[in-house]
């Protein structure tokens, strides 16, 4: 808008009256105007300007001021958007760090991943229902077609979080997140198999440091065991299956009569998945671990402080829901590739924080392997981003 005022509005007004913009010139430097007019005295010029001012008082100044106000307002809006996005990223990282710390402490004291995962879904469901009831979040229109479309996503979401908790309970937090850096490999393989997306040679090249880095880290990991390793790999498979399903189904809801349903946004989708995941995991949890929640079961398992377990479960569940919700909020503001790069940085932050908090022993080879794997993830995200930009340019050129 500011450039429009400067390039079109002001020149058009100046064309109607040749002396119009001399007001601004005089305001800036009277000496330049005197030289430009070729006169040695400024008195005649003042009288000329005063006559112009009487006909068009302060018009040029008003237009220029309006252009400046629009430009300043645009800069202010962009700065506020940047601050909001930066705050969301900071909150995403902080909530993820808190979740991993609370969750690891909980899994040490109460090694029942089914119950812990169900508790996290229940806390998230309570937060969702409160947000809907209070009007903080728009209630999506949920039909039977919505449930049928989202149900496969809820199944793999439930399995992915359960497998992640199983891995976190078996190995160090830092090692679990190092293994989860292999997500791009599963993404490329599943996208090629089910979506027909053929990866470029450059994308395939970025996967090599990821594989090599995880192999290096695994060879010297002090807490390594196959159960924790395979659980983390299974979570990679399920989470990337969820992403592929999201693209394949396109989440277009259909009612039973064939009419088009409402398109779920990211926040609505996450809320529905959370509710369905809690419902899906509840009977399984009661079947396999329900008896352990009784006072006799807790005593048999050696749980000395049930209240402490409940507090950690509530905090872990709250942080779990918060970081995932903020992640979806960020995804609404940036591209998926930018979000993927931010997720890579998040892994670096979480690994560093967990090593410092739990004081896990880390060898030089382990640290180098982790760094190499994360560097590969960053390169993968960067290459995908450049390819997305290039594809966008080709589409716009063809149009």
Which has the minimum average pLDDT: 157-161, 205-209, 246-250?
246-250
- Give me the residue label for tokens 């198999």: 193
Q: Where are the domains of the chain?
A: 2-70, 90-398
166 to each of 172, 226, 232, how far by Cα in Å?
11, 12, 8
- 260 phi/psi in degrees, rounded to 5: -65, 135
Q: What pLDDT score does 11 carry?
A: 47
CA distance 278 to 48: 80
pLDDT digit string, tens, across residues 19-46: 444 444 434 444 444 344 444 444 444 4
- The model's pTM is 0.76
Average pLDDT, the chain: 80
Q: What pLDDT score does 328 carry?
A: 85
Find the farthest-apart pair of alpha carbons in the chain and give their distance in angstroms, rounded.
Answer: 104
User: How many other β-carbons are positioned within 10 Å of the β-carbon of residue 144?
Assistant: 12
Q: What pLDDT score does 245 carry?
A: 81
């Amino acid at each position: 808008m500011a450039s429009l005022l400067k390039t079109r509005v002001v020149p058009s007004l100046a064309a109607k009256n040749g002396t119009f913009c001399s007001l601004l010139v005089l305001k800036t430097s009277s000496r330049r105007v005197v030289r430009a007019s070729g006169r040695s005295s400024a008195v005649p010029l003042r009288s000329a300007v005063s006559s112009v001012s009487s006909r068009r008082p302060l018009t040029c100044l008003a237009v220029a001021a309006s252009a400046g106000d629009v430009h300043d307002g645009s800069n202010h809006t962009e700065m506020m958007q940047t601050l909001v996005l930066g705050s969301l990223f900071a909150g995403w990282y902080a909530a993820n760090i808190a979740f991993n710390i609370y969750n690891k402490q909980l899994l040490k004291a109460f090694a029942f991943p089914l119950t812990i995962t169900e508790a996290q879904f229940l806390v998230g469901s309570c937060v969702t229902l409160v947000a809907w009831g209070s009007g903080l979040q728009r209630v999506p229109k949920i039909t039977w077609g919505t449930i049928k479309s989202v149900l496969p996503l809820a199944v793999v979401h439930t399995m992915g979080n359960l497998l992640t908790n199983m891995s976190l309970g078996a190995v160090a937090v830092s090692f679990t997140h190092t293994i989860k850096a292999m997500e791009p490999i599963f993404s490329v393989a599943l996208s090629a198999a089910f979506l027909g997306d053929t990866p470029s040679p450059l994308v395939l090249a970025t996967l090599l440091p990821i594989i090599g880095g995880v192999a290096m880290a695994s060879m010297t990991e002090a807490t390594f065991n196959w159960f924790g390793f395979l659980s983390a790999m299974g979570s990679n498979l399920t989470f990337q299956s969820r992403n592929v399903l999201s693209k394949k189904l396109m989440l277009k809801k259909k009612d039973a009569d064939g009419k088009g349903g409402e398109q779920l946004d990211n926040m609505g989708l996450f809320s529905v998945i959370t509710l369905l995941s809690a419902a899906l995991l509840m009977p399984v949890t009661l079947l396999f671990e329900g008896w352990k929640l009784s006072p006799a079961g807790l005593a048999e398992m050696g749980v000395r402080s049930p209240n402490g377990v409940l507090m950690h479960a509530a905090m872990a569940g709250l942080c779990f829901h918060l970081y995932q919700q903020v992640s979806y909020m960020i995804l609404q503001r940036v591209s998926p590739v930018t979000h993927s790069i931010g997720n890579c940085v998040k892994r670096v932050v979480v690994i560093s924080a967990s090593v410092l908090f739990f004081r896990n022993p880390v060898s030089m080879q382990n640290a180098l392997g982790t760094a190499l794997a994360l560097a590969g993830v960053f390169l993968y995200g960067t290459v995908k981003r450049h390819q997305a930009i290039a594809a966008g340019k080709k589409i716009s050129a063809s149009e």
